[in-house]
Amino acid sequence: MVDVDSFIDEKIEEIADEVGGANAVIGLSGGVDSSTAAALAYEAIGDQLTAVYVDTGLMRKGETDQIRETFDYMDSLRIIEAQDRFVDALAGETDPEEKRHVIGEQFIREFEEVAREVDADSLVQGTIYPDRIESEGTIKSHHNVGGLPERIDFDGIVEPMRDLYKDEVREVARELGLEEIVSERMPFPGPGLAVRIIGEVTEEKLEVAREANRVVEEELEEHEPWQALAAVLGKATGVKGDNRVHGWVVAVRSVESRDGMTARAQNVDWDTLQRIQSRITGENEDVARVLYDVTHKPPATIEYE
Ligand code: XMP
């Protein structure tokens, strides 16, 4: 990207051209990519755009309220409450790729309904360059790239940021006046907390993951990681008060990266790690242990599934 202002002008024109007089939809995830694509598309086509946010129940704490506030100016914002449907669809599913598949399918089903209702011909997507590269290979199926276009017969797929890296997207977001909490927010995967839970996704594990991720984001924000997260691994023995307990094991991960394709585990100081440990085990009596992940990518991935 040469210059942010010209990029924005060029894309606004391009989106308006591609969509023409028809209606378009975009799926908002709460992350910087889809939020920026939505803001760009709204500048280009205004109320011809319907932004759809599916609350999968796999989101970070406060994400839905954040969306409501940020896109308050769009009359056509739709918030779909689908938490129960996602958790039900995931019941009994333990295979990582299958979990992604189930989430992708359910997402498409929710989205299709709105797209039909508003008679949308075009789909705007916040796909960025690294998404395309990872999905073209066999690394893993990114549900925000595959699926939708084939399932719903859109005349046009508009991907204004397909050649940008994440840091460039943030520049565009700032220039478009998106709030800092959106433009600077850590990346969050489409399948949400489901890829931060090993094995079956249950309401109980989701609650542990949601709280632990909030603590980690709060405590590590000033270390400016590319991404910091918490994952629920399984159960192990611990002792709380006078009792032995079989509690959750939570892994904390904080990485530095430019594009998510490779990453280095961050060197976080002991006091910070201890504070995180004490908050996570203190705030949830069912967590028995907190571990810090020191693995780079490769050989590990950033997410756990
Ligand atoms: P991994 O775990 O593959 O993650 O090292 C690299 C980056 O991609 C994000 N990620 C996803 N983003 N849909 C997304 O939109 C996905 O299915 C997905 N899986 C991983 C991850 O959070 C990290 O930033």
Q: Is the CB of 247 under 6 A from ligand 1?
A: no
Three-class secondary structure of residue 176 per DSSP: coil
Residue nearest to atom 19 of ligand 1 (CA): 189
Does the pLDDT at position 132 exceed 90?
Answer: no
Beta strands at 78-81 and 49-55: parallel, antiparallel or unpaired: parallel
The 10s digit of each residue's pLDDT in 211-259 is 999 999 999 999 999 999 999 999 999 999 899 999 999 999 999 998 8
Of residues 143 and 110, the one with the higher pLDDT is: 110
Stretch 7-36: mean pLDDT, rounded?
A: 94
Pairwise CA distance, residues 301 & 305, whole Å: 8
Q: What is the pLDDT of residue 58?
A: 96
Atom of ligand 1 nearest to the CA of 261: 6
Q: Is the CB of 132 under 6 A from ligand 1?
A: no
Q: What is the pLDDT of residue 187?
A: 87
The 10s digit of each residue's pLDDT in 69-104 is 999 999 889 999 999 999 999 999 999 999 999 999
Pairwise CA distance, residues 84 & 71, whole Å: 24
Phi, psi of 100 (to 5 degrees): -60, -40
Does the pLDDT at position 1 exceed 70?
Answer: yes
Distance 26 CA to ligand 1 centre (A): 19
Round the average pLDDT of the chain to a whole number and report it: 92
Domains, the chain, ordered by start:
4-183 (3.40.50.620), 202-292 (3.30.300.10)
Distance 242 CA to ligand 1 centre (A): 41
Does the pLDDT at position 151 exceed 80?
Answer: no
Distance 161 CA to ligand 1 centre (A): 17
Distance 190 CA to ligand 1 centre (A): 7
Which of the residue ranges 133-142, 144-153, 280-289 would you say has the lowest mean pLDDT?
A: 133-142
Does the pLDDT at position 50 exceed 80?
Answer: yes
Q: What is the pLDDT of residue 153?
A: 77
Q: What is the pLDDT of residue 149?
A: 66
The percentage of the chain sitting over the pLDDT mark of 90, rounded to a whole number, equals: 80
Pairwise CA distance, residues 164 & 214, whole Å: 28
Distance 130 CA to ligand 1 centre (A): 10
Q: Is the CB of 143 under 6 A from ligand 1?
A: yes
Q: Is the CB of 140 under 6 A from ligand 1?
A: yes
The 10s digit of each residue's pLDDT in 164-194 is 999 999 999 999 999 998 899 898 988 999 9
Q: What is the pLDDT of residue 145?
A: 44
Which of the residue ranges 87-96, 108-117, 204-213 would you say has the lowest mean pLDDT?
A: 108-117
Pairwise CA distance, residues 194 & 87, whole Å: 10
Pairwise CA distance, residues 53 & 110, whole Å: 10
Distance 287 CA to ligand 1 centre (A): 25
With the most atoms of ligand 1 within 8 angstroms of its CB, the residue from 142, 193, 198, 258 to mutate is: 142
For the whole model, what pTM was predicted? 0.89
Label residue 207 by pLDDT band (50, 70, 90): very high
DSSP 187: P
Stretch 59-78: mean pLDDT, rounded?
A: 92
Does the pLDDT at position 135 exceed 70?
Answer: no
Label residue 141 by pLDDT band (50, 70, 90): low
